[in-house]
Amino acid sequence: MSQFDFPRINFHGSVLLDVPTGNNGKFSPLKIYNQDAALPYTPPRVYLIPELVPKIQGLGYTVQTDTDSPYKKYSQYVEIASVTKDVYDDWAVQHLGTSTYDNHYVDLYKNVPLDGDEPQPSLFDGLVQPSYWNYYGDLSVYAEDIRITGIQTADAQGEVTTYTPGNSDGCPAGLAQLLGQSFSFHQQFFDPNSRTTAMFCDVDSIEDTCTQMFYTQAGIYGKPGGQEKTFFTGAACKSAFTWLSMSKVLNYNDKKDLLSPMSGATYFESTITLNQIGIDSSFQKDLNVQAGFQVDKLSMKILLHQVYEVRNPDYKKMPRKPIGNNKTDIPKNPARVAFSGSLCPFVEATDMTTHNVARILKNQIINNPKIDTTKFSTPIPKPKDPSDTGVPVEVYDQVQLSPAFVRVNAPRKIISLDIISTICEYGVGFGDYSCYGGPTSIPPFLSWENYDFGTLSLYFMPDGGGPGTLIGSITHDTDYNMKEFIARGGVMDFVLPESIDDVMSGRFAIFRNGTEELLVEDDYLIMSDQQGSYAEQGQDSSEGYKFDGPDRGPIILRCFQRGEPMQGSRPGKVRNTSTNVTEDFVFYDGVKFDYHTKDVGCVQYVFGITPQQYATPTSKAEVFYLLANGYTVTTRVLAADLNLLPYLDGTEPLTFDVLYNTIFSNYNNVLPIMNTILKFDENTWSEPYTMRRLKEFTDPKNWGHYMYMPVTRELSKNQQALLQKWANDILNSPS
């Protein structure tokens, strides 16, 4: 995909992320979910480092051993036996140690510290809520108000024009009509009760290694002249985040502990296949004219940033009225975030479907820029309870920037620079504290502005040395203040200098105020449209992996050198972050990557041709560098569940208890909103209409659809077969 081609349709606005948080593993060593087995620990467990075992036993607690523990640091644990499945939800939304279910375990909690590099408070003192901040989320991505902020076109001389709402003179009419209109993922945009068709889904639901977004429909809508109008709709392919910045928002970026994810930002990139029925003819005509070909697909770039979460909430005070996608009568606390980005013509011959093909410029650790914190008057928000020290108030004065991307469009004589995630921002002014927020909750910012880095200049630096060629410069006042920035989709355009006759004979670099090298081009970029894949335990690589729709296929790595498909091959490495084992790998454009499926669980693989690309981080600065600049593929191997075979072949009777213990218990605890809609009891799951819907939404052909069950997509082949058998047995039984 590409955010560089013309015309560009840029957008900005807010969405609700209604992510469920019960399985986040936030409060380790309290363990409530076994990700490898995709099943909850019922009852929950508190794991112990070996040094703590004698002390805990001395307090009278029974310590058990988990011989198959998926946690590197722990194998021994104490079971919270009083928390059965019947009381789990009530226990989960209360602070640990305060409910009657915890009466026997207060001494345990007081003597077990939270995990962390520094001395940590105990489970009892840390205001731990097992459910975290949004237990009943439904995984939806609900567009509240996303508007078209700019339309950009280019002429034959390399000049780019940005049109904005109220300033559209000269913009082709078919495109100008989109300015100020709504971009949405709604099923029926004009229906006030419509559901979104966009869903979040983590491959690795505990660590921040791979969040995916599934979209069944995207479109632009409006009411020009008071009449409802759909300009276009289309189906988008799944995308997975990349280029994870941890310090995008400067006054969420503190010295002690980042307010993640509120401090950060990340990319999602996808391709929308346009529905030819119902598309506005004038839009299609001008889209084709500006692109120079018949446009059947659009590239979609999304930056997710400006995240706000109400942490440590009081579930008893939490609102229950419908919010966004969630119409149920349950406590609701979705995060609110900004979506900024672009829609551009998809070029079939050159584009990837979930990544931009460009040249990458990286901020090296040794060149992390200094931040003048006096430039913004609003500090890090203080917690609701002033006596609470859980949220520090001293801002980092040095940050790791996300990469910038350069695309050279020689026919149009344009060099384009995408810095939408590179430029840091800060909140301005505080809103009110949430009425249901706990003592560590903080107020939201009222507005946002981009940080002024001074004059940023793009240079071309020849390989042979000597002075570089200045391509162009931008300033905060005229180019990258927030208003102008979102109108341009974070992309800055320059006329290609005639003096640069071979763009492959040097590197691009960005200098700050003429002398400080801020970012420099990395020669190699490795990517895959199959980021975030699923396999069955023990399967052969020839069976392929599942990564978007119902089909399976290989994982293909695209390898680029200075923005072009790499010629020949290069030796490099691939590192398994679970075992930290690094193996040799030969890279070439289009090489297949296969991974081991013997063991269940999630593994992240880091690819690199140069040592800096695949090196194991040894400091926080190096971790931030890898998150922002590294390319990875995260995989999930689903358990073979051979214990289900006797029920599938009829050797053992299939009862509801079997179904619950092997499948439904997972969703009852980690996606509890399912239990509020359809109770996990035998009567509900024996009703014929429900069984017909169950068959439909667990059918592999609907795997990429927003209504697929489960939304978390962690249903193994045998689990899926068991659900289908249960439904078929009921539907085929004599009435």
Sheet arrangement for strand 631-638: 552-553, 545-546, 533-536, 631-638, 601-608, 569-576, 581-588
Q: What residue ranges in 262-389 does DSSP mark as E strands?
A: 265-274, 297-308, 335-345, 359-362
Q: 54 vs 379, which has greater pLDDT?
A: 54
Terminal-residue alpha carbon distance, the chain: 53
Residue 661: is its pLDDT beyond 50? Answer: yes
Distance (Å, rounded) from C-alpha 652 to C-alpha 251?
59
CA distances from 571 to 577, 580, 584, 663 (A): 20, 19, 7, 43
Q: Is 2.60.40 the CATH number for 525-638? A: yes
Distance (Å, rounded) from C-alpha 102 to C-alpha 168?
63
* Residue 695 near residue 724, CB atoms below 8 Å: yes
Distance (Å, rounded) from C-alpha 735 to C-alpha 718?
27
Measured from the Cβ of residue 473, the count of other Cβ atoms closer than 10 Å reads: 18
Written in H, E and C, the secondary structure of 522-576 is ECEEEECCCCCEEEECCCCHHHCEECCCCCEECEEEEEEECCEECCCEEEEEEEE
Average pLDDT over residues 582-597: 97
Q: Which residues pair with 473 in a beta bridge?
A: 457
- Percent of the chain past pLDDT 70, that is, above it, reads 97
134: burial class by Cβ within 10 Å (0-12, 13-18, 19+)?
buried
- pLDDT of amino acid 103: 96
Q: Is the peptide bond before 392 cis (omega within 30 degrees of 0)?
A: no
Structure tokens at 627: 């998150």
Which DSSP state fits 652? S
Average pLDDT over residues 182-195: 95
Distance (Å, rounded) from C-alpha 267 to C-alpha 245?
9
Residue 572: is its pLDDT beyond 60? Answer: yes
Closest CA to 601 of 626, 577, 583: 577
- pLDDT of amino acid 500: 93
Cα 429 to its chain centre, rounded Å, is 27
Which DSSP state fits 648? H
How many alpha carbons lie under 13 Å from residue 509 in its C-beta half-sphere? 20
Measured from the Cβ of residue 403, the count of other Cβ atoms closer than 10 Å reads: 24
- pLDDT of amino acid 203: 92
Q: What pLDDT, in 10s, does the model give residues 282-291?
A: 999 999 999 9
Closest CA to 351 of 218, 492, 527, 478: 527
Residue 373: is its pLDDT beyond 70? Answer: yes
Report the length, in residues, of the chain: 735
- pLDDT of amino acid 244: 92
Indicate the average pLDDT of the chain.
92
- pLDDT of amino acid 390: 47
Closest CA to 512 of 455, 572, 574: 455
* Residue 570 near residue 587, CB atoms below 8 Å: yes
Q: What pLDDT, in 10s, does the model give residues 532-552?
A: 999 999 999 999 999 998 899
Q: What pLDDT, in 10s, does the model give residues 239-248?
A: 999 999 988 9
- pLDDT of amino acid 562: 97
Q: What pLDDT, in 10s, does the model give residues 377-434?
A: 888 888 887 665 544 455 667 899 999 999 999 999 999 999 999 999 999 999 999 9
60 — pLDDT class (breaks 50, 70, 90): very high
Average pLDDT over residues 338-350: 94
Structure tokens at 149: 């902020």
Structure tokens at 102: 């915890």
Residue 256: is its pLDDT beyond 70? Answer: no
Distance (Å, rounded) from C-alpha 203 to C-alpha 638?
11
- pLDDT of amino acid 258: 65
Residue 119: is its pLDDT beyond 70? Answer: yes
Helix (H) or strand (E) holding 657: helix 656-659
Average pLDDT over residues 601-626: 93
Written in H, E and C, the secondary structure of 425-441 is EEEEEECCCCCCCCCCC
Bridging pattern class, strands 631-638 and 533-536: parallel
Structure tokens at 472: 């162009």
* Residue 28 near residue 105, CB atoms below 8 Å: no
Helix (H) or strand (E) holding 89: helix 88-92
735 — pLDDT class (breaks 50, 70, 90): low
Give Cβ neighbours of residue 54 (< 8 Å, ≥ 6 apart).
none
Residue 323: is its pLDDT beyond 80? Answer: yes
Q: What pLDDT, in 10s, does the model give residues 136-184?
A: 999 999 999 999 999 999 998 889 999 999 999 999 999 999 999 999 9
Residue 2: is its pLDDT beyond 80? Answer: no
CA distances from 474 to 157, 401, 513, 519, 542 (A): 20, 17, 10, 15, 50
* Residue 205 near residue 36, CB atoms below 8 Å: no
Which DSSP state fits 67? T
**18-47 residues labelled b (16+ CB within 10 A) or e (exposed):** bbbbbbbbbbbbbbbbbbbbbbbbbbbbbb
Closest CA to 208 of 604, 599, 697: 604
Domain boundaries, the chain: 8-21+136-522, 30-111, 525-638, 642-732
- pLDDT of amino acid 109: 96
Written in H, E and C, the secondary structure of 41-55 is EEEEEEEECHHHHHH
Distance (Å, rounded) from C-alpha 470 to C-alpha 462?
12
The radius of gyration of the chain from alpha carbons, rounded to an integer in Å, stands at: 26
Average pLDDT over residues 645-656: 96
- pLDDT of amino acid 391: 46
